Structure 1
Amino acid sequence: MPDSPFSRPRHVRPLRLTTRRGDFAALRAAPAHGPHRGTVLLLPGYTGGKEEFVPLLPHLVAAGYQAVAVDARGQNETAGPDDEAAYRQDALAMDVLAQAETLGGPVHLLGHSMGGHLARAAVLADPRPFASLTLLSSGPAQVGEERQLQLKLLLQALETLTMAQVWDMMRESRPAPVSPEEARHLRARWLRTHVSHLRVVGRQLLAEPDRTPELAALTQLPKHVVYGDADDTWTTWQLEDMAARLEAHRTILAGAGHSPNLQRPAETATSLIGFWSGIPRG
Protein backbone atom coordinates (compact mmCIF):
# COMPACT_ATOMS: atom_id res chain seq x y z
CA MET A 1 0.00 0.00 0.00
CA PRO A 2 1.46 3.39 -0.93
CA ASP A 3 2.18 5.88 1.82
CA SER A 4 0.57 8.61 -0.27
CA PRO A 5 -2.10 8.58 -3.00
CA PHE A 6 0.54 10.20 -5.21
CA SER A 7 2.77 7.11 -4.91
CA ARG A 8 1.06 4.77 -7.37
CA PRO A 9 1.42 0.99 -7.13
CA ARG A 10 2.91 -0.58 -10.24
CA HIS A 11 -0.40 -2.02 -11.42
CA VAL A 12 -2.09 1.41 -11.44
CA ARG A 13 -1.63 2.97 -14.86
CA PRO A 14 -2.41 6.47 -16.15
CA LEU A 15 -5.09 6.41 -18.84
CA ARG A 16 -6.34 8.95 -21.35
CA LEU A 17 -10.04 8.05 -21.47
CA THR A 18 -11.25 9.07 -24.91
CA THR A 19 -15.02 9.62 -25.18
CA ARG A 20 -17.51 11.26 -27.53
CA ARG A 21 -17.31 14.30 -25.24
CA GLY A 22 -13.53 14.57 -25.24
CA ASP A 23 -10.57 13.12 -23.36
CA PHE A 24 -10.34 12.72 -19.60
CA ALA A 25 -7.31 12.04 -17.43
CA ALA A 26 -7.77 8.80 -15.51
CA LEU A 27 -6.06 6.08 -13.52
CA ARG A 28 -6.83 2.46 -14.30
CA ALA A 29 -6.21 -0.69 -12.32
CA ALA A 30 -7.36 -4.10 -13.54
CA PRO A 31 -6.79 -7.74 -12.59
CA ALA A 32 -4.04 -9.38 -14.61
CA HIS A 33 -5.48 -12.86 -14.09
CA GLY A 34 -8.62 -14.51 -12.83
CA PRO A 35 -12.29 -13.59 -13.27
CA HIS A 36 -13.32 -10.03 -14.11
CA ARG A 37 -16.22 -9.24 -11.79
CA GLY A 38 -17.08 -5.82 -13.18
CA THR A 39 -15.91 -2.27 -13.83
CA VAL A 40 -16.03 0.59 -11.34
CA LEU A 41 -16.03 4.29 -12.32
CA LEU A 42 -14.83 6.58 -9.50
CA LEU A 43 -15.58 10.33 -9.40
CA PRO A 44 -13.63 12.60 -7.00
CA GLY A 45 -14.95 15.51 -4.98
CA TYR A 46 -14.55 19.27 -5.18
CA THR A 47 -10.87 20.37 -5.23
CA GLY A 48 -9.95 16.67 -5.30
CA GLY A 49 -8.64 14.39 -7.99
CA LYS A 50 -8.44 10.82 -9.21
CA GLU A 51 -5.34 10.10 -7.07
CA GLU A 52 -7.44 10.13 -3.91
CA PHE A 53 -8.84 6.73 -4.90
CA VAL A 54 -5.41 5.11 -5.25
CA PRO A 55 -5.50 3.58 -1.72
CA LEU A 56 -8.70 1.72 -2.69
CA LEU A 57 -7.46 0.33 -5.99
CA PRO A 58 -5.29 -2.62 -4.81
CA HIS A 59 -8.25 -3.94 -2.80
CA LEU A 60 -10.68 -3.62 -5.72
CA VAL A 61 -8.28 -5.29 -8.14
CA ALA A 62 -7.61 -8.14 -5.72
CA ALA A 63 -11.37 -8.75 -5.60
CA GLY A 64 -11.53 -8.96 -9.40
CA TYR A 65 -12.74 -5.48 -10.35
CA GLN A 66 -11.38 -3.13 -12.98
CA ALA A 67 -11.36 0.36 -11.46
CA VAL A 68 -11.09 3.65 -13.33
CA ALA A 69 -10.77 6.93 -11.41
CA VAL A 70 -11.35 10.07 -13.50
CA ASP A 71 -10.62 13.79 -13.16
CA ALA A 72 -13.70 15.81 -14.15
CA ARG A 73 -13.56 18.38 -16.92
CA GLY A 74 -11.35 21.26 -15.77
CA GLN A 75 -10.19 19.31 -12.71
CA ASN A 76 -6.52 18.46 -12.11
CA GLU A 77 -5.13 16.82 -15.26
CA THR A 78 -8.28 17.01 -17.40
CA ALA A 79 -8.32 20.18 -19.49
CA GLY A 80 -11.32 22.48 -19.61
CA PRO A 81 -12.43 25.70 -21.32
CA ASP A 82 -12.99 29.15 -19.86
CA ASP A 83 -16.71 28.90 -20.68
CA GLU A 84 -18.56 28.31 -17.41
CA ALA A 85 -21.35 26.44 -19.19
CA ALA A 86 -18.98 23.46 -19.52
CA TYR A 87 -19.01 23.01 -15.74
CA ARG A 88 -22.72 23.09 -15.09
CA GLN A 89 -23.89 19.94 -13.39
CA ASP A 90 -25.93 18.79 -16.37
CA ALA A 91 -22.89 19.13 -18.64
CA LEU A 92 -20.60 17.27 -16.24
CA ALA A 93 -23.25 14.54 -15.90
CA MET A 94 -23.18 14.09 -19.67
CA ASP A 95 -19.41 13.66 -19.39
CA VAL A 96 -19.95 10.82 -16.88
CA LEU A 97 -22.42 9.12 -19.21
CA ALA A 98 -19.87 9.33 -22.02
CA GLN A 99 -17.17 7.85 -19.76
CA ALA A 100 -19.42 4.93 -18.83
CA GLU A 101 -20.20 4.38 -22.51
CA THR A 102 -16.50 4.21 -23.35
CA LEU A 103 -15.83 1.72 -20.55
CA GLY A 104 -18.60 -0.51 -21.92
CA GLY A 105 -21.28 -2.50 -20.18
CA PRO A 106 -23.07 -1.51 -16.99
CA VAL A 107 -20.50 -0.01 -14.60
CA HIS A 108 -20.62 0.44 -10.86
CA LEU A 109 -20.61 4.22 -10.34
CA LEU A 110 -19.12 5.77 -7.19
CA GLY A 111 -18.97 9.47 -6.39
CA HIS A 112 -17.18 11.04 -3.43
CA SER A 113 -18.69 14.22 -1.94
CA MET A 114 -19.38 16.58 -4.90
CA GLY A 115 -18.67 13.58 -7.13
CA GLY A 116 -21.68 11.93 -5.51
CA HIS A 117 -23.91 14.81 -6.60
CA LEU A 118 -22.46 14.45 -10.09
CA ALA A 119 -23.01 10.69 -10.06
CA ARG A 120 -26.60 11.23 -8.93
CA ALA A 121 -27.20 13.69 -11.77
CA ALA A 122 -25.79 11.18 -14.27
CA VAL A 123 -28.02 8.29 -13.20
CA LEU A 124 -31.06 10.55 -13.09
CA ALA A 125 -30.30 11.60 -16.67
CA ASP A 126 -29.94 7.95 -17.77
CA PRO A 127 -29.63 5.00 -15.35
CA ARG A 128 -29.10 2.38 -18.08
CA PRO A 129 -25.26 2.48 -18.21
CA PHE A 130 -24.95 1.75 -14.49
CA ALA A 131 -25.02 -1.47 -12.49
CA SER A 132 -25.16 0.39 -9.15
CA LEU A 133 -24.66 3.76 -7.50
CA THR A 134 -22.52 4.40 -4.41
CA LEU A 135 -22.59 7.79 -2.68
CA LEU A 136 -19.40 8.10 -0.62
CA SER A 137 -19.54 10.89 1.98
CA SER A 138 -22.05 12.69 -0.24
CA GLY A 139 -25.13 14.27 1.30
CA PRO A 140 -28.64 14.89 0.01
CA ALA A 141 -28.38 18.62 -0.73
CA GLN A 142 -26.11 21.63 -0.16
CA VAL A 143 -23.16 21.28 2.20
CA GLY A 144 -23.45 22.11 5.90
CA GLU A 145 -23.25 25.61 7.37
CA GLU A 146 -19.53 25.57 8.19
CA ARG A 147 -18.65 24.32 4.71
CA GLN A 148 -20.99 26.91 3.20
CA LEU A 149 -19.08 29.69 4.93
CA GLN A 150 -15.73 28.28 3.74
CA LEU A 151 -17.04 27.95 0.19
CA LYS A 152 -18.34 31.51 0.12
CA LEU A 153 -14.98 32.80 1.30
CA LEU A 154 -13.21 30.70 -1.35
CA LEU A 155 -15.47 31.93 -4.14
CA GLN A 156 -14.91 35.54 -3.06
CA ALA A 157 -11.15 35.00 -3.06
CA LEU A 158 -11.24 33.46 -6.54
CA GLU A 159 -12.75 36.68 -7.88
CA THR A 160 -9.81 38.86 -6.81
CA LEU A 161 -6.75 36.66 -6.23
CA THR A 162 -4.65 34.35 -8.36
CA MET A 163 -4.89 30.60 -7.85
CA ALA A 164 -1.45 30.63 -6.20
CA GLN A 165 -2.51 33.39 -3.81
CA VAL A 166 -5.71 31.53 -2.92
CA TRP A 167 -3.71 28.37 -2.23
CA ASP A 168 -1.40 30.23 0.14
CA MET A 169 -4.41 31.76 1.89
CA MET A 170 -6.05 28.35 2.37
CA ARG A 171 -2.87 26.79 3.74
CA GLU A 172 -2.45 29.63 6.22
CA SER A 173 -6.01 29.27 7.49
CA ARG A 174 -6.12 25.44 7.47
CA PRO A 175 -2.64 23.89 7.47
CA ALA A 176 -2.78 20.41 5.96
CA PRO A 177 -1.21 17.56 8.00
CA VAL A 178 0.75 16.15 5.06
CA SER A 179 4.37 15.61 4.13
CA PRO A 180 6.26 18.28 2.15
CA GLU A 181 6.19 16.02 -0.93
CA GLU A 182 2.45 15.53 -0.68
CA ALA A 183 1.95 19.25 -0.10
CA ARG A 184 3.79 19.96 -3.36
CA HIS A 185 1.55 17.54 -5.24
CA LEU A 186 -1.59 19.05 -3.72
CA ARG A 187 -0.49 22.54 -4.68
CA ALA A 188 0.30 21.43 -8.23
CA ARG A 189 -3.14 19.78 -8.51
CA TRP A 190 -4.81 22.95 -7.29
CA LEU A 191 -2.94 25.10 -9.81
CA ARG A 192 -3.88 22.73 -12.66
CA THR A 193 -7.59 22.97 -11.85
CA HIS A 194 -9.48 25.52 -13.95
CA VAL A 195 -10.83 28.48 -12.00
CA SER A 196 -14.13 28.30 -13.95
CA HIS A 197 -14.61 24.74 -12.71
CA LEU A 198 -14.07 25.85 -9.12
CA ARG A 199 -16.46 28.77 -9.45
CA VAL A 200 -19.34 26.92 -11.07
CA VAL A 201 -19.09 23.73 -9.01
CA GLY A 202 -18.62 25.75 -5.82
CA ARG A 203 -21.82 27.67 -6.48
CA GLN A 204 -23.61 24.37 -7.18
CA LEU A 205 -22.53 22.98 -3.81
CA LEU A 206 -24.10 26.01 -2.14
CA ALA A 207 -27.41 25.54 -3.95
CA GLU A 208 -27.67 21.77 -4.55
CA PRO A 209 -31.32 20.69 -4.16
CA ASP A 210 -32.41 17.54 -2.39
CA ARG A 211 -33.04 15.11 -5.25
CA THR A 212 -33.45 12.09 -2.98
CA PRO A 213 -37.09 11.47 -4.01
CA GLU A 214 -36.10 11.38 -7.70
CA LEU A 215 -33.26 8.99 -6.98
CA ALA A 216 -35.44 6.78 -4.77
CA ALA A 217 -37.84 6.40 -7.70
CA LEU A 218 -35.12 4.48 -9.58
CA THR A 219 -36.10 1.33 -7.72
CA GLN A 220 -34.22 -1.04 -10.05
CA LEU A 221 -30.85 0.64 -9.41
CA PRO A 222 -28.98 -0.78 -6.37
CA LYS A 223 -27.78 2.03 -4.11
CA HIS A 224 -25.16 2.24 -1.38
CA VAL A 225 -24.54 5.12 1.04
CA VAL A 226 -21.11 5.07 2.72
CA TYR A 227 -19.78 7.61 5.21
CA GLY A 228 -17.55 8.05 8.23
CA ASP A 229 -18.99 8.58 11.68
CA ALA A 230 -16.97 11.82 11.94
CA ASP A 231 -18.00 13.41 8.63
CA ASP A 232 -17.88 17.22 8.89
CA THR A 233 -19.38 18.24 5.53
CA TRP A 234 -22.84 16.77 6.11
CA THR A 235 -24.17 15.58 9.46
CA THR A 236 -24.38 11.87 10.03
CA TRP A 237 -28.11 12.42 10.63
CA GLN A 238 -28.52 13.83 7.13
CA LEU A 239 -26.61 10.93 5.61
CA GLU A 240 -28.55 8.34 7.61
CA ASP A 241 -31.86 9.95 6.69
CA MET A 242 -30.92 10.02 2.99
CA ALA A 243 -29.96 6.34 3.06
CA ALA A 244 -33.29 5.47 4.68
CA ARG A 245 -35.29 7.44 2.12
CA LEU A 246 -33.36 5.75 -0.69
CA GLU A 247 -33.84 2.33 0.93
CA ALA A 248 -30.13 2.00 0.22
CA HIS A 249 -27.54 -0.34 1.64
CA ARG A 250 -25.69 1.70 4.29
CA THR A 251 -22.16 1.50 5.67
CA ILE A 252 -20.83 3.65 8.53
CA LEU A 253 -17.06 3.63 8.92
CA ALA A 254 -15.87 4.13 12.48
CA GLY A 255 -13.15 6.72 12.95
CA ALA A 256 -13.41 8.10 9.41
CA GLY A 257 -14.11 11.71 8.50
CA HIS A 258 -15.06 13.08 5.11
CA SER A 259 -12.59 10.95 3.10
CA PRO A 260 -12.86 7.27 4.10
CA ASN A 261 -11.11 6.39 0.83
CA LEU A 262 -7.96 7.96 2.32
CA GLN A 263 -8.56 7.45 6.03
CA ARG A 264 -9.96 3.89 6.04
CA PRO A 265 -9.24 2.48 2.57
CA ALA A 266 -9.27 -1.22 3.50
CA GLU A 267 -12.56 -0.99 5.39
CA THR A 268 -14.08 1.20 2.67
CA ALA A 269 -13.06 -1.26 -0.03
CA THR A 270 -14.46 -4.19 1.95
CA SER A 271 -17.83 -2.46 2.20
CA LEU A 272 -17.86 -1.67 -1.52
CA ILE A 273 -16.88 -5.18 -2.59
CA GLY A 274 -19.50 -6.70 -0.30
CA PHE A 275 -22.20 -4.47 -1.80
CA TRP A 276 -21.22 -5.13 -5.42
CA SER A 277 -20.85 -8.86 -4.81
CA GLY A 278 -24.50 -9.02 -3.78
CA ILE A 279 -25.74 -7.56 -7.07
CA PRO A 280 -26.69 -10.15 -9.71
CA ARG A 281 -24.51 -9.90 -12.83
CA GLY A 282 -26.34 -8.69 -15.94
Structure 2
Amino acid sequence: MSRNAVFTPPPNARTYRMRTARGEFAVVESPVAGDAEPKGVALMLPGFTGSKEDFTLLHEPLAARGYRTVAVDGRGQYESDGPAHDEAAYAQRELARDVLAQAAALGTPVHLLGHSLGGQIARAAVLLDHSPFLSLTLVSSGPARISVSQQQRVKLLRDALAVMTMEEVWETMQAMGPPEEAGGPARGAADEARLRLRWLGTRPAQLLATGRQLCTEPDRVAELAAVPLPFHVVSGERDDTWPVPLLDDMAVRLRARRTVVPGAEHSPNTDRPLPTARALADFWDGVPRPRTAAASR
Protein backbone atom coordinates (compact mmCIF):
# COMPACT_ATOMS: atom_id res chain seq x y z
CA MET A 1 0.00 0.00 0.00
CA SER A 2 1.28 3.44 -0.90
CA ARG A 3 1.42 5.25 2.43
CA ASN A 4 3.36 8.34 1.37
CA ALA A 5 0.60 9.91 -0.69
CA VAL A 6 0.23 13.68 -0.26
CA PHE A 7 -3.41 14.76 -0.20
CA THR A 8 -2.98 18.53 -0.45
CA PRO A 9 -2.91 19.47 -4.15
CA PRO A 10 -0.05 21.69 -5.30
CA PRO A 11 -0.65 25.41 -5.98
CA ASN A 12 -2.59 26.09 -9.20
CA ALA A 13 -3.76 22.47 -9.45
CA ARG A 14 -7.44 21.71 -9.70
CA THR A 15 -9.43 18.65 -8.71
CA TYR A 16 -12.47 17.71 -10.75
CA ARG A 17 -14.35 14.83 -12.30
CA MET A 18 -13.22 14.17 -15.87
CA ARG A 19 -16.15 13.28 -18.11
CA THR A 20 -15.39 10.53 -20.61
CA ALA A 21 -17.29 8.17 -22.87
CA ARG A 22 -16.91 5.55 -20.13
CA GLY A 23 -18.02 7.62 -17.16
CA GLU A 24 -16.45 10.17 -14.84
CA PHE A 25 -13.05 9.86 -13.16
CA ALA A 26 -11.62 11.90 -10.30
CA VAL A 27 -8.44 13.72 -11.31
CA VAL A 28 -5.88 16.21 -10.10
CA GLU A 29 -4.64 18.37 -12.95
CA SER A 30 -1.75 20.79 -12.80
CA PRO A 31 -1.10 23.33 -15.59
CA VAL A 32 2.21 24.30 -17.06
CA ALA A 33 4.03 26.86 -14.94
CA GLY A 34 3.42 30.41 -16.11
CA ASP A 35 7.00 31.07 -17.16
CA ALA A 36 7.55 27.69 -18.84
CA GLU A 37 7.22 26.73 -22.50
CA PRO A 38 4.32 24.28 -22.87
CA LYS A 39 5.70 20.95 -24.07
CA GLY A 40 2.95 18.38 -23.61
CA VAL A 41 0.53 16.51 -21.38
CA ALA A 42 1.12 13.52 -19.11
CA LEU A 43 -1.60 11.11 -17.93
CA MET A 44 -0.58 9.27 -14.74
CA LEU A 45 -2.13 6.03 -13.42
CA PRO A 46 -1.66 4.89 -9.80
CA GLY A 47 -0.93 1.43 -8.48
CA PHE A 48 -2.65 -1.18 -6.32
CA THR A 49 -4.34 0.42 -3.27
CA GLY A 50 -3.05 3.77 -4.55
CA SER A 51 -4.65 6.92 -5.92
CA LYS A 52 -3.98 10.09 -7.87
CA GLU A 53 -2.41 11.57 -4.72
CA ASP A 54 0.61 9.30 -5.21
CA PHE A 55 1.75 11.79 -7.88
CA THR A 56 1.22 15.01 -5.91
CA LEU A 57 4.93 15.74 -5.50
CA LEU A 58 5.58 15.36 -9.24
CA HIS A 59 3.16 18.06 -10.41
CA GLU A 60 5.15 21.19 -9.60
CA PRO A 61 8.57 20.11 -10.91
CA LEU A 62 6.96 18.78 -14.10
CA ALA A 63 4.95 22.00 -14.52
CA ALA A 64 8.22 23.93 -14.27
CA ARG A 65 9.59 21.80 -17.11
CA GLY A 66 6.58 22.58 -19.32
CA TYR A 67 4.33 19.59 -18.72
CA ARG A 68 0.65 19.68 -17.88
CA THR A 69 0.01 16.68 -15.62
CA VAL A 70 -3.22 14.78 -15.06
CA ALA A 71 -3.29 12.17 -12.28
CA VAL A 72 -6.37 9.98 -12.21
CA ASP A 73 -8.16 7.60 -9.86
CA GLY A 74 -9.02 4.55 -11.91
CA ARG A 75 -12.43 2.94 -11.83
CA GLY A 76 -13.27 1.99 -8.24
CA GLN A 77 -10.16 3.70 -6.82
CA TYR A 78 -10.68 6.24 -4.04
CA GLU A 79 -12.83 9.04 -5.53
CA SER A 80 -13.75 7.43 -8.86
CA ASP A 81 -17.00 5.50 -8.96
CA GLY A 82 -17.24 1.78 -9.58
CA PRO A 83 -19.30 -1.23 -8.51
CA ALA A 84 -18.52 -2.57 -5.05
CA HIS A 85 -18.96 -6.27 -5.79
CA ASP A 86 -18.81 -6.85 -9.57
CA GLU A 87 -15.26 -8.02 -10.25
CA ALA A 88 -15.94 -8.30 -13.98
CA ALA A 89 -16.13 -4.50 -14.14
CA TYR A 90 -12.42 -4.41 -13.21
CA ALA A 91 -11.11 -6.85 -15.80
CA GLN A 92 -7.84 -5.51 -17.17
CA ARG A 93 -9.33 -4.92 -20.62
CA GLU A 94 -12.10 -2.81 -19.09
CA LEU A 95 -9.58 -0.71 -17.13
CA ALA A 96 -7.48 -0.30 -20.27
CA ARG A 97 -10.51 0.94 -22.20
CA ASP A 98 -11.06 3.47 -19.41
CA VAL A 99 -7.54 4.79 -20.02
CA LEU A 100 -8.22 5.18 -23.72
CA ALA A 101 -11.38 7.13 -22.86
CA GLN A 102 -9.43 9.37 -20.49
CA ALA A 103 -6.85 10.10 -23.17
CA ALA A 104 -9.63 10.91 -25.65
CA ALA A 105 -11.23 13.29 -23.15
CA LEU A 106 -7.97 15.21 -22.82
CA GLY A 107 -8.14 15.90 -26.53
CA THR A 108 -4.43 15.78 -27.29
CA PRO A 109 -1.77 13.06 -27.61
CA VAL A 110 -0.36 12.29 -24.16
CA HIS A 111 2.63 10.80 -22.46
CA LEU A 112 1.23 7.81 -20.55
CA LEU A 113 2.74 6.84 -17.19
CA GLY A 114 1.72 3.99 -14.91
CA HIS A 115 3.04 3.11 -11.47
CA SER A 116 3.08 -0.58 -10.47
CA LEU A 117 -0.40 -1.99 -11.26
CA GLY A 118 -1.01 1.23 -13.19
CA GLY A 119 1.90 0.32 -15.45
CA GLN A 120 0.34 -2.99 -16.39
CA ILE A 121 -3.00 -1.28 -17.07
CA ALA A 122 -1.16 1.34 -19.15
CA ARG A 123 0.56 -1.45 -21.09
CA ALA A 124 -2.80 -3.08 -21.79
CA ALA A 125 -4.19 0.25 -23.05
CA VAL A 126 -1.23 0.75 -25.39
CA LEU A 127 -1.64 -2.78 -26.72
CA LEU A 128 -5.30 -2.08 -27.47
CA ASP A 129 -4.57 1.22 -29.25
CA HIS A 130 -1.28 3.10 -29.12
CA SER A 131 -2.42 6.02 -31.29
CA PRO A 132 -3.46 8.39 -28.44
CA PHE A 133 -0.02 8.15 -26.82
CA LEU A 134 3.34 9.79 -27.44
CA SER A 135 5.28 7.53 -25.07
CA LEU A 136 4.87 4.97 -22.29
CA THR A 137 6.67 5.15 -18.95
CA LEU A 138 6.52 2.16 -16.59
CA VAL A 139 7.37 3.12 -13.00
CA SER A 140 8.21 0.14 -10.77
CA SER A 141 6.02 -2.04 -12.97
CA GLY A 142 7.36 -5.36 -14.14
CA PRO A 143 7.00 -7.68 -17.12
CA ALA A 144 4.66 -10.24 -15.58
CA ARG A 145 3.27 -11.29 -12.19
CA ILE A 146 4.56 -9.90 -8.93
CA SER A 147 7.11 -11.63 -6.69
CA VAL A 148 6.14 -14.65 -4.61
CA SER A 149 6.34 -12.67 -1.35
CA GLN A 150 3.97 -10.03 -2.74
CA GLN A 151 1.63 -12.71 -4.09
CA GLN A 152 1.39 -14.01 -0.55
CA ARG A 153 0.51 -10.53 0.74
CA VAL A 154 -2.17 -10.13 -1.90
CA LYS A 155 -3.62 -13.53 -1.00
CA LEU A 156 -3.83 -12.47 2.65
CA LEU A 157 -5.72 -9.36 1.61
CA ARG A 158 -8.06 -11.27 -0.66
CA ASP A 159 -8.77 -13.80 2.12
CA ALA A 160 -9.46 -10.98 4.56
CA LEU A 161 -11.83 -9.21 2.17
CA ALA A 162 -13.79 -12.45 1.80
CA VAL A 163 -14.83 -12.38 5.47
CA MET A 164 -14.30 -8.79 6.67
CA THR A 165 -15.52 -5.32 5.78
CA MET A 166 -13.15 -2.69 4.43
CA GLU A 167 -13.28 -0.95 7.81
CA GLU A 168 -12.37 -4.18 9.62
CA VAL A 169 -9.49 -4.85 7.23
CA TRP A 170 -8.19 -1.31 7.79
CA GLU A 171 -8.30 -1.71 11.56
CA THR A 172 -6.48 -5.02 11.29
CA MET A 173 -3.77 -3.50 9.11
CA GLN A 174 -3.33 -0.65 11.57
CA ALA A 175 -3.06 -3.06 14.49
CA MET A 176 -0.33 -4.94 12.63
CA GLY A 177 1.64 -1.71 12.34
CA PRO A 178 2.48 -1.59 8.59
CA PRO A 179 6.02 -0.42 8.01
CA GLU A 180 6.78 3.05 6.66
CA GLU A 181 8.02 3.31 3.11
CA ALA A 182 11.50 4.73 2.69
CA GLY A 183 11.86 8.41 1.82
CA GLY A 184 8.63 10.31 1.42
CA PRO A 185 7.24 13.16 3.50
CA ALA A 186 6.33 12.94 7.16
CA ARG A 187 2.63 12.35 7.85
CA GLY A 188 0.37 13.77 10.52
CA ALA A 189 -3.03 12.78 11.85
CA ALA A 190 -4.79 14.51 8.95
CA ASP A 191 -2.87 12.44 6.40
CA GLU A 192 -3.59 9.25 8.33
CA ALA A 193 -7.27 10.15 8.24
CA ARG A 194 -7.11 10.71 4.49
CA LEU A 195 -5.33 7.37 4.01
CA ARG A 196 -8.19 5.73 5.86
CA LEU A 197 -10.74 7.51 3.71
CA ARG A 198 -8.87 6.46 0.58
CA TRP A 199 -8.90 2.84 1.71
CA LEU A 200 -12.61 2.96 2.56
CA GLY A 201 -13.38 4.66 -0.78
CA THR A 202 -11.71 1.93 -2.80
CA ARG A 203 -14.18 -0.72 -3.94
CA PRO A 204 -13.57 -4.26 -2.63
CA ALA A 205 -14.19 -5.74 -6.08
CA GLN A 206 -11.49 -3.50 -7.52
CA LEU A 207 -8.96 -4.82 -5.01
CA LEU A 208 -10.01 -8.43 -5.54
CA ALA A 209 -9.90 -8.24 -9.33
CA THR A 210 -6.68 -6.25 -9.66
CA GLY A 211 -4.99 -8.29 -6.94
CA ARG A 212 -5.70 -11.40 -8.98
CA GLN A 213 -4.32 -9.69 -12.08
CA LEU A 214 -1.06 -8.86 -10.30
CA CYS A 215 -0.65 -12.50 -9.30
CA THR A 216 -1.38 -13.95 -12.75
CA GLU A 217 -0.24 -11.34 -15.30
CA PRO A 218 1.58 -12.97 -18.25
CA ASP A 219 4.78 -11.63 -19.76
CA ARG A 220 3.72 -9.34 -22.63
CA VAL A 221 7.03 -7.58 -23.17
CA ALA A 222 7.62 -8.98 -26.65
CA GLU A 223 4.15 -7.87 -27.69
CA LEU A 224 4.76 -4.39 -26.26
CA ALA A 225 8.19 -4.11 -27.89
CA ALA A 226 6.49 -4.33 -31.29
CA VAL A 227 4.51 -1.13 -30.60
CA PRO A 228 6.08 1.95 -32.24
CA LEU A 229 6.38 4.11 -29.13
CA PRO A 230 9.32 5.31 -27.03
CA PHE A 231 9.50 3.49 -23.68
CA HIS A 232 10.97 4.45 -20.33
CA VAL A 233 11.46 2.05 -17.41
CA VAL A 234 11.86 3.76 -14.02
CA SER A 235 12.43 2.21 -10.60
CA GLY A 236 14.12 2.72 -7.28
CA GLU A 237 17.34 1.01 -6.23
CA ARG A 238 15.37 -1.68 -4.39
CA ASP A 239 12.01 -3.25 -5.11
CA ASP A 240 10.42 -6.30 -3.51
CA THR A 241 7.45 -6.32 -5.90
CA TRP A 242 9.50 -6.80 -9.08
CA PRO A 243 13.23 -7.28 -8.44
CA VAL A 244 15.36 -4.56 -10.03
CA PRO A 245 17.32 -7.00 -12.27
CA LEU A 246 13.97 -8.08 -13.74
CA LEU A 247 13.19 -4.44 -14.57
CA ASP A 248 16.67 -4.01 -16.06
CA ASP A 249 16.05 -6.98 -18.36
CA MET A 250 12.61 -5.68 -19.33
CA ALA A 251 14.14 -2.35 -20.35
CA VAL A 252 16.63 -4.15 -22.58
CA ARG A 253 13.88 -6.19 -24.21
CA LEU A 254 11.86 -3.02 -24.85
CA ARG A 255 14.92 -1.07 -26.04
CA ALA A 256 13.75 1.44 -23.46
CA ARG A 257 15.39 4.27 -21.63
CA ARG A 258 16.27 3.05 -18.12
CA THR A 259 16.32 5.18 -14.96
CA VAL A 260 17.18 3.93 -11.47
CA VAL A 261 16.38 6.61 -8.90
CA PRO A 262 18.96 6.63 -6.08
CA GLY A 263 17.55 6.26 -2.58
CA ALA A 264 14.12 5.13 -3.79
CA GLU A 265 12.27 1.84 -3.43
CA HIS A 266 8.94 0.77 -4.97
CA SER A 267 7.53 4.31 -5.20
CA PRO A 268 10.17 6.72 -6.54
CA ASN A 269 7.34 9.17 -7.24
CA THR A 270 6.91 9.63 -3.48
CA ASP A 271 10.29 8.44 -2.19
CA ARG A 272 12.39 10.76 -4.38
CA PRO A 273 10.04 12.99 -6.38
CA LEU A 274 12.50 15.61 -7.64
CA PRO A 275 15.00 13.27 -9.33
CA THR A 276 12.07 11.19 -10.57
CA ALA A 277 10.42 14.24 -12.13
CA ARG A 278 13.72 15.28 -13.69
CA ALA A 279 14.15 11.84 -15.26
CA LEU A 280 10.59 11.89 -16.60
CA ALA A 281 10.93 15.35 -18.12
CA ASP A 282 14.33 14.55 -19.62
CA PHE A 283 12.79 11.53 -21.36
CA TRP A 284 9.69 13.38 -22.58
CA ASP A 285 11.84 16.26 -23.86
CA GLY A 286 13.40 13.81 -26.30
CA VAL A 287 10.06 12.62 -27.70
CA PRO A 288 8.80 14.48 -30.79
CA ARG A 289 6.02 16.86 -29.78
CA PRO A 290 2.55 16.85 -31.33
CA ARG A 291 1.53 19.98 -33.15
CA THR A 292 -1.14 20.57 -30.48
CA ALA A 293 1.37 20.70 -27.60
CA ALA A 294 1.40 24.50 -27.43
CA ALA A 295 -2.38 24.51 -27.10
CA SER A 296 -2.39 22.01 -24.23
CA ARG A 297 -1.37 24.52 -21.60
For 1:213, the equivalent position in structure 2 comes to: 222
Q: Secondary structure at the match of 1:31?
A: coil
Alignment of 1:197 with 2:206, yes or no, is: yes
Structure 1 residue 190: Cα displacement: 0.3
2:8 alignment partner AA: S
For 1:140, the equivalent position in structure 2 comes to: 143
2:241 alignment partner AA: T
Q: Does the CA contact (< 8 Å) of 2:113 and 2:137 recur in 1?
A: yes
Structure 2: which 5+ runs fail to align?
A: 181-186, 291-297
For 2:53, the equivalent position in structure 1 comes to: 51
Structure 1 residue 173: Cα displacement: 2.6
2:217 alignment partner AA: E
1:266 to 266, 269, 274: 274
1:281 alignment partner AA: R
1:207 alignment partner AA: T
1:185 to 166, 169, 194: 194
Alignment of 1:142-161 (within 5 A): 142-161=145-164
Q: Does the CA contact (< 8 Å) of 2:111 and 2:134 recur in 1?
A: yes
For 2:82, the equivalent position in structure 1 comes to: 80
Alignment of 1:110 with 2:113, yes or no, is: yes
Structure 1 residue 32: Cα displacement: 5.1
Q: Secondary structure at the match of 1:131?
A: strand
Task: Rate the CA distance shift 1:4–1:138 in 2: closer, same or farther, 3 A.
Answer: closer
Q: Deviations over 1:140-197 (max 9, x none)?
A: 1111111111000000000000101111222233435443222111111000011110
1:229 to 237, 241, 244: 237
Q: Deviations over 1:96-130 (max 9, x none)?
A: 00000011121000000000000000000000000
Alpha-carbon distance in structure 1 between the residues aligned to 2:8 and 2:77: 19
Count of aligned pairs: 279
Alpha-carbon distance in structure 2 between the residues aligned to 1:46 and 1:36: 31
Q: TM-score, normalised by structure 2?
A: 0.91
Alpha-carbon distance in structure 1 between the residues aligned to 2:178 and 2:33: 40
Alignment of 1:82-97 (within 5 A): 82-97=85-100
Structure 1 residue 4: Cα displacement: 6.3
Q: Deviations over 1:81-107 (max 9, x none)?
A: 232221000000000000000111210
Q: Please say which of residues 120-129 and 161-170 is displaced more in the overlay.
A: 161-170
For 2:63, the equivalent position in structure 1 comes to: 61
Identical pairs, percent: 52
Q: TM-score, normalised by structure 1?
A: 0.96
Alpha-carbon distance in structure 2 between the residues aligned to 1:201 and 1:237: 24
Q: Does the CA contact (< 8 Å) of 2:33 and 2:66 recur in 1?
A: no
